[in-house]
Structure 1
Amino acid sequence: MIQLWYWFKRRTPQHFQPVILVTGCSSGVGLAIADVLYTQFQYRVIVTARQGSLHILREKFKESDRFLIRPLDVTSNVEREILVKEIEARWGCINILVNNAGISYRAVLEHMTESDEFHQMSTNYLGPVALIRLVMPKMREAGRGKIINVSSVSGMLAMPTMSSYSASKYALEGMSEALWYEARPLGINVSLIQPGFIRSNSFKNVYYTQKSKPDEKGEFTGLYSDYYKNMAPFVEKLMSMSLTNPKAMSDLVLKVIQTENPPLWIPATIDAAVFYYLRRLVPRRLLLPLLFFALPKSHLWNAKYTKRRFR
């Protein structure tokens, strides 16, 4: 339904095979994007995953002269440079970069370490930015290109127990907005795909820190246990109720690839569209208390500490 918004959809005939690089293709949306591009013979495609997950792609897809499977840890400077150099030597230029790779920590801010924060930011922000820097020179020479960054509704409105994930997506969105201005005169389009909750099992792939992970019995304990006990099933429930699955997301990414001048902001699910306009139309001083009230049992979180004062 969200795809009906593509009134701006404008196509021009292509007289060459654009080269598309997609990151984070071992599961979820990334795997769905790889699946849909596998059947699009008008493109030359490179799908990537970390070395330990590469077997998933090799078992599902067969390489050809237009479809390559390559290892890529987006946090590795060496792997990024090797891959981009190989693609440019083979095909001359990466025309479309889809920055999809990402991870999510489930931890309150107090439970994150500096190492955890760097892992989150290097995967969701620093790695994608470094890839953009590597592909832009050849895009400039060609006078055209697309950079598609897969963001999140958490890049619009933050959620408790996901502070660092939200920070990484806010950073990605801020960078993309600035880059939109910088790249536009060069013939390069920049777009942010902003999904909300997607019906998938990705909630099982979250990272826990040493302090946020459940105990041996799978139970959360300690000061922030109320947050974890309520937010984890809440997110899982919203994902199970979502009308959007990874296939719908991959179809949307394909539409953006095929659209001549796609917009910067593209809410990709109904809830993302709702949050997109709530953020712009409702004052924050009203919106945040409203959202807090909507969280499960939030009025009981750490009740014994609420408004406690020492003199």
Structure 2
Amino acid sequence: MSFNNKVVWITGASSGIGKALAIELSHQNATLILSSRKKADLELVKNECKNSSQIKIITLDLEDYTNLQPKVDEAIACFGKVDVLVNNGGISQRSLVKDTQISVDKRIMDINYLGTVALSKAILPHFINSKSGQFVVTTSIVGKIGTPLRSSYAASKHALHGFFDSLRAENHKNNIAVTLVCPGFVNTNVSLNALTGDGSSQGKMDVATENGIQPDRFAKLMAKAIKNKKEEVYISGVKEKLAVFVKRFYPKLLSIMIRKLSVT
């Protein structure tokens, strides 16, 4: 697949992975629709992209998941179609289960899972009618492995795998692809904005996140996975990929390893 003449809609496009992917795809001649809650930040991203005059901005809030159909209608109207929806918007977490208010669990699920699912359901008829389309979902290595301080985040990402695996199976006959992208540590602001147990932002960078893959490098690998319509891809360091392998074949060993991670 080439991105020429393809309309790609990216959520969570105002920073981090979404921003880097927008810039990368613009250089691969994709036509872009950029979304997040922050219009001013989206405008800055747009201006960093190639052919910025051909890029549209649609603000949306995934947490407001019952009101996303008008956003889909608006996106389709921009260029007459959407070929690829990149479900990249979301929020992370840094808190122990015992310290996490249930309202925080709910907010993470509302944004990461229900918002993504609602947007995808709203655009699915367009893909079915077109007999073409691709859902790309930024999940996480913790969508395969639960780790300390990320219980609700891991749950939301595990849920996305279950939902989109089912969607893929149901819609193979409609020529609709699903690509699940599982990042390891990427050097973005995800840990700065991560929710703590009372719902406030953590406000500091994790060491592992700071030492993670650079977003522009990540975006190139993600773009390649999208182009090749990979079903599931792990873009991470060696340790994260190894953990996925150990989880699959030696789950008890991984449990022992995970228990030794710091929870402070």
In the alignment, is residue 272 of structure 1 matched against residue 240 of structure 2? yes
- Go from structure 1 to structure 2 and tell me whether the alpha carbon gap of 1:279 and 1:64 turns closer, same or farther (over 3 Å shift): same
In the alignment, is residue 59 of structure 1 matched against residue 27 of structure 2? no
- Aligned with residue 74 of structure 1, among 62, 82, 92: 62
Unaligned runs of 5+ in 2: none
Whole-angstrom CA distance in 1 between matches of 2:156 and 2:192:
20
Matches within 5 A, 1:1-311: 11=1, 17-41=5-29, 43-50=30-37, 53-62=38-47, 66-77=54-65, 80-210=68-198, 236-242=206-212, 244-259=213-228, 262-270=229-237, 271-282=239-250, 284-293=251-260, 295-296=261-262
Whole-angstrom CA distance in 2 between matches of 1:110 and 1:292:
16
Unaligned runs of 5+ in 1: 1-10, 219-231, 302-311
TM-score (normalizing by structure 2): 0.88
Q: Give the SS at the match of 1:22.
A: strand
TM-score (normalizing by structure 1): 0.76
- Go from structure 1 to structure 2 and tell me whether the alpha carbon gap of 1:77 and 1:169 turns closer, same or farther (over 3 Å shift): closer
Question: Are the counterparts in 1 of residues 100 and 196 from structure 2 also a CA contact under 8 Å?
Answer: no
Whole-angstrom CA distance in 2 between matches of 1:168 and 1:78:
18
- Go from structure 1 to structure 2 and tell me whether the alpha carbon gap of 1:212 and 1:72 turns closer, same or farther (over 3 Å shift): closer
Whole-angstrom CA distance in 2 between matches of 1:38 and 1:58:
14
- Go from structure 1 to structure 2 and tell me whether the alpha carbon gap of 1:49 and 1:291 turns closer, same or farther (over 3 Å shift): same
* Post-superposition offset of 1:64: 5.2
Question: Are the counterparts in 2 of residues 180 and 264 from structure 1 also a CA contact under 8 Å?
Answer: no
- The code of the aligned residue for 1:35 comes to I
Question: Are the counterparts in 2 of residues 72 and 79 from structure 1 also a CA contact under 8 Å?
Answer: no
Whole-angstrom CA distance in 2 between matches of 1:247 and 1:204:
19
Stretches (4+) displaced over 3 A? 62-65, 211-214
* Post-superposition offset of 1:70: 1.7
* Post-superposition offset of 1:33: 1.2
- Go from structure 1 to structure 2 and tell me whether the alpha carbon gap of 1:211 and 1:48 turns closer, same or farther (over 3 Å shift): closer
Query: How far does the alpha carbon of each residue in 1:152-194 deviate from its partner, in whole angstroms, 9 at most, with x for none?
Result: 0111111112111111011011112212211212100101100
Q: Give the SS at the match of 2:208.
A: helix
Whole-angstrom CA distance in 1 between matches of 2:136 and 2:64:
20
- Go from structure 1 to structure 2 and tell me whether the alpha carbon gap of 1:119 and 1:188 turns closer, same or farther (over 3 Å shift): same
Whole-angstrom CA distance in 1 between matches of 2:97 and 2:200:
10
Give the fraction of aligned pairs with identical amino acids, expressed as a percent: 28
Whole-angstrom CA distance in 2 between matches of 1:171 and 1:56:
29
Whole-angstrom CA distance in 2 between matches of 1:208 and 1:137:
37
